[in-house]
């Protein structure tokens, strides 16, 4: 992975122009092992972004411990297709007083179906209901998610190496 990162921000209200397009549900503590597996499986085909199960569990533990701000468990959402791990997920925190997308991923088999967009919009609705006005995300330079966030209206605020 590259060390160059960009911080993007979007007005929550702008994300609400379209409804979520697929049904999701809240991620519970009972789902955490499946969430870790989804993160591993979704990264497998992304050169430079591969994550093993140990690292995936550590990421989740760090988020729960507040490493990227206060966990926003109300905006930890997943999409399931049948049994097993979710096929897409978003994990959010509050960082420096603003909602922050700490992790978002989709399995290769469901990419380009709008699942990630739907999850971002659903999280935005949760943020809006709590009075939040903006949401942020940090992405590595060259992230395959960059186009998604640009299409959703996120704008780069600053880059940091």
Q: What pLDDT is attached to residue 159?
A: 66
- What pLDDT does 158 receive? 72
- Cα 10 from Cα 68, distance rounded (Å): 18
Give the separation between CA 79 and CA 88, rounded to whole angstroms.
5
Tens of pLDDT, residue by residue over 18-36, are 888 889 999 999 999 999 9
Neighbours of 133 (CB within 10 A): 11
Print the domain residue range for 143. 5-160
Q: Helices 32-43 and 53-64: crossing angle, nearest 10°? A: 130
Domains held by the chain: number: 1
Question: Is a pLDDT exceeding 70 seen at residue 3?
Answer: no
Answer whether 87's CB lies under 8 Å from 38's CB. Answer: yes
List pLDDT tens digits, range 58-112.
Answer: 999 999 999 989 999 999 999 999 888 999 999 999 998 999 999 999 999 999 9
Residues recorded for the chain: 161
Read off the CATH number of the domain in which 54 is found. Answer: 3.40.630.30
Q: Count CA within 13 A, CB hemisphere, residue 32.
A: 13
């Amino acid at each position: 992975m590259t060390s160059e990162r960009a911080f993007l921000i979007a007005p929550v209200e702008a994300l609400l122009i379209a409804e979520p397009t697929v049904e999701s549900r809240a991620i519970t503590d009972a789902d955490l092992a499946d969430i870790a597996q989804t993160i591993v499986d979704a990264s497998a085909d992304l050169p430079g972004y591969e994550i093993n199960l140990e690292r995936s569990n550590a990421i989740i533990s760090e988020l729960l411990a507040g490493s990227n701000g206060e966990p926003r468990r109300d905006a930890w959402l997943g999409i399931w297709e049948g049994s097993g791990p979710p096929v897409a997920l978003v994990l959010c925190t509050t960082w420096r007083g603003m909602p922050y997308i700490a992790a978002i991923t989709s399995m290769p088999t469901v990419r380009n179906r709008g699942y990630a967009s739907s999850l971002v919009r659903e999280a935005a609705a949760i943020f809006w209901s709590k009075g939040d006005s903006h949401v942020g995300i940090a992405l590595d330079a060259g992230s395959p998610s960059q186009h998604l966030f640009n299409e959703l209206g996120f704008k780069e605020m600053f880059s940091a190496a």
